[in-house]
Structure 1
Amino acid sequence: MTITDGSTPAGPSGLRERLKGRSELGVSALLAAAGLLVVVDTLAESGGGAAGSDPLGPQLVPLVLGGALLLLAALLTVDILRGGRGEAEGGEDVDLTAPMDLRTVGTLVGVLVATAALIPVLGWPIAGTVLFFGATYALGSRTLARDLAIAATISLATWVLFDVVLGVDLPGGPLMGVFG
């Protein structure tokens, strides 16, 4: 098929060209997916109708929020397709041309995985210390003693607040005998 007027044929490459520079459509898709998930899950949980003597039922708020997400997704999509663009942040001091620091990202991912694995074994106070200390180290801090002390204090304080004060059961690990 030969096109002589300079236009591109409709198809995958034509669609790609039309969508070029419209990455905000990803946000629209995310909003639509979240709204659809909320609406479908709410209707599935409630059986599609109001419960008991309450004419509105407990599903009203999730349905309104899900509907609002779907409406926002539609409005954002229309705006983007009409040429609307998000305004760049003026205060950011980030070089967008610089490559991603895979070492830092990989270290942070490793710290998160280690924390998730350590919580059931050693409890939140120790796993939280690993999380907070590992994050500060991955992000460049090299004052190890201070960072470790702050991480342990924050982790222990959050565990005491949730487990002892609020009654939210977090695994204490070796500290269960001390406070439990």
Structure 2
Amino acid sequence: MSAFLALLGVLVLTDALTLPTDFTTRGPLGPKAVPVLVGSLLLLVAVLLARDVLRGGRGEAEGGEDIDLSGQADWRTVSLLSGAFLANAALIDLIGFPASSALMFWGAAYALGSRNYARDPLIAAVLSTVTWVLFNELLGVPLPGGPLMEVL
């Protein structure tokens, strides 16, 4: 694990240091600051972990979760969640982010056991529309609005 973290730290630092510096910056920090910090912290954690292991340190055994390991997987839930996600991916360009994400949010709630047929679609519609507005209007990340947003 320590070697993996060290390799990842070197990779992040190498990539960060090769970033172009011709970006327009808004403040004292440029685009390299966060990747260099993350890469440096990865290297620091790798060194500290290696030192601990070489000194005989061992991780504490996990207490486990409160689950029944002999139980079967709930493939119905997995299938419903996968279907909701794939439907979102297939419909996002056709009907837009708000409508396709509302279907996905409602489908996920249904798959996970919620059966409130009045509340769930309403929450899904509000959540997807607010997410679209936040990304599209405030963050400047264009998401497909679809025919519903063209009317607005």
Give the TM-score of the pair, scaled to structure 1: 0.62
TM-score normalized by the length of structure 2: 0.71
The aligned residue for residue 16 of structure 2 is: 42
Q: Which residue of 2 aligns with 1:176?
A: 149
Cα deviation 1:81-135 (Å, max 9, x = unaligned): 7342246468x54334544433323332332222122222211111110121111
**Structure 2: which amino acid aligns with 1:43?**
L
On the 8 A contact 1:39/1:62 being kept in 2, the answer is yes
What is the distance in 1 between the residues matched to 2:107 and 2:18?
41
Q: How many residues align?
A: 146
Tell me if the contact between 1:51 and 1:57 (Cα under 8 Å) persists in the aligned partners.
no
Matched, 1:127 2:100: yes
Q: What secondary structure sits across from 2:14 in the alignment?
A: helix
Identical pairs, percent: 51
Structure 2 unaligned spans of 5+:
24-28
Whether 2:40 is the aligned partner of 1:67: answer yes
- RMSD over aligned Cα, in angstroms? 3.3
For residues 25-57 of structure 1, the C-alpha deviation after alignment (integer angstroms, 9 at most, x for no partner) is 4xx5764564344223213324xxx779xxx96
Amino acid at match of 1:70: L
Instruction: Indicate whether 1:118 and 2:91 are aligned.
Output: yes
Query: Following TM superposition, by how much is the alpha carbon of 1:139 offset from its aligned partner in structure 2, in angstroms?
Result: 1.0
Residue 153 of structure 1 pairs with residue 126 of structure 2 = yes
Distance 1:37 1:100 in 2: 37
Distance 1:155 1:30, change over 3 A: farther
Instruction: Give the letter aligned to residue 74 of structure 2.
Output: D
**8 Å CA contact 1:51, 1:58 repeated in 2:** no
- Quote the Cα distance in structure 1 between the aligned partners of 2:68 and 2:57: 25
The alignment partner of 1:144 has SS state of coil
Larger relative contact order, structure 1 or 2 (CA cutoff 8 Å, min sep 6)? 2
Cα deviation digits, residues 124-161 of structure 1 (max 9, x gap): 11111012111111111122332112111211222234
Taking structure 1 as reference, are residues 135 and 79 closer, same or farther at Cα in structure 2, changes over 3 Å only? farther
Number of the residue aligned with 1:138: 111
AA at the equivalent of 1:140: G
